[in-house]
Amino acid sequence: MSRLQPLVNSLPNGVAPRLDQGLSALGVIISAEQREQLLGLLALLHKWNRAYNLTAVRDVEEMVSRHVLDSAAVAPYVHGPTLLDVGAGPGLPGLVLAIMKPELQVTLLDSNGKKVRFQRQAVMELALTNVTPTQARVEQFTGQHFDQVISRAFASLVDFVTLTRPLPSANGQWLAMKGPGADDELRNLPEGIELSERHLLNVPFETAERQLLILTPKGVE
């Protein structure tokens, strides 16, 4: 029995098939170990959420689509090799991307102590060697540069770019995971920043529109 198997066995019966079906719909192929880590992450999130209120999603089967598959949907556009997940909360999408892409070096940034404690517990229990949880406010997080800076639920597009402006490397990108209605935010982008790519995301089992906006400094391809 693997080290994670008791954790995975605590999940309701429908969770693993739902994950498998969703990943297949996304065209994602992962190893048995990565699958076990994703299921372990779901089990940990469900377990901790009861005590620490990490996410408003209570049902673990709903967590599959709302958290894991939603995060996995952006994987084709994440290349790093260094990735900063700003406002990561319990580690989404960073933990999912770190599991799916072991070559990534992922930094998780959040100011909420209980959420960062969960990140650290997940990193330890899932034996992830490519993730660095960090508790800090983004305004005070300086001195490092990243190839890509991603956000799933961090304020408005303008605030996301403005607060993280020193953090992408010279040819870096901002990856903003958004729902519908991002056009108004795009019209107010800070000077010198432009939309370089826009991808609609078809997240299995989800009906709400999801999209990924990739932003770059003007003049950078």
pLDDT at position 53: 76
CB 3 within 8 A of CB 126: no
Is the pLDDT at 220 greater than 70, yes or no?
A: no
Percent of the chain clearing pLDDT 70 (strictly above): 98
pLDDT at position 206: 93
Burial annotation 65-89 (CB, 10 A radius, 16+ → b, else e): bbbbbbbbbbbeebebebbbbbbbb
Give the pLDDT band (50/70/90) at residue 149. Answer: very high
As a whole number, the mean pLDDT across the chain is 93
Give the pLDDT band (50/70/90) at residue 155. Answer: confident
pTM, to two decimals: 0.95
The pLDDT tens digits of the residues spanning 29-87 come to 999 999 999 999 999 999 988 888 778 778 888 899 999 999 999 999 999 999 999 99
Residues 6 or more apart from 123 whose CB is under 8 A from it? 95, 131, 133
What is the residue type of 140?
Q
Percent of the chain clearing pLDDT 90 (strictly above): 81
Annotation: binding site for S-adenosyl-L-methionine: 87, 92, 138-139, 152
**Mapped to the 3 state alphabet, what secondary structure does the chain carry?**
CCCCHHHHHCCCCCHHHHHHHHHHHHCCCCCHHHHHHHHHHHHHHHHHHHHHCCCCCCCHHHHHHHHHHHHHCCHHHCCCCEEEEECCCCCCCHHHHHHHCCCCEEEEEECCHHHHHHHHHHHHHCCCCCEEEEECCHHHCCCCCEEEEEECCCCCHHHHHHHHCCCEEEEEEEEEEECCCCHHHHHCCCCCEEEEEEEEECCCCCCCCEEEEEEEECCCC
When pLDDT is averaged across residues 84-110 and rounded to a whole number, the result is 97
CB 205 within 8 A of CB 22: yes
Is the pLDDT at 158 greater than 70, yes or no?
A: yes
Annotation: binding site: 87, 92, 138-139, 152
CA–CA distance, 200 with 37 (Å, rounded to integer): 27
Q: Could you tell me the fold of the domain covering 5-217?
A: Rossmann fold (3.40.50)
* Alpha-carbon torsion angle 139, 140, 141, 147, nearest 10: 30
Q: Where are the domains of the chain?
A: 5-217
pLDDT at position 176: 97
Nearest CA to 17 among 30, 35, 31, 3?
A: 35
When pLDDT is averaged across residues 103-113 and rounded to a whole number, the result is 97
- Higher per-residue pLDDT: 181 or 116: 116
Give the pLDDT band (50/70/90) at residue 142. Answer: confident
pLDDT at position 221: 56
Which residues sit opposite 194 in a β-bridge?
A: 216
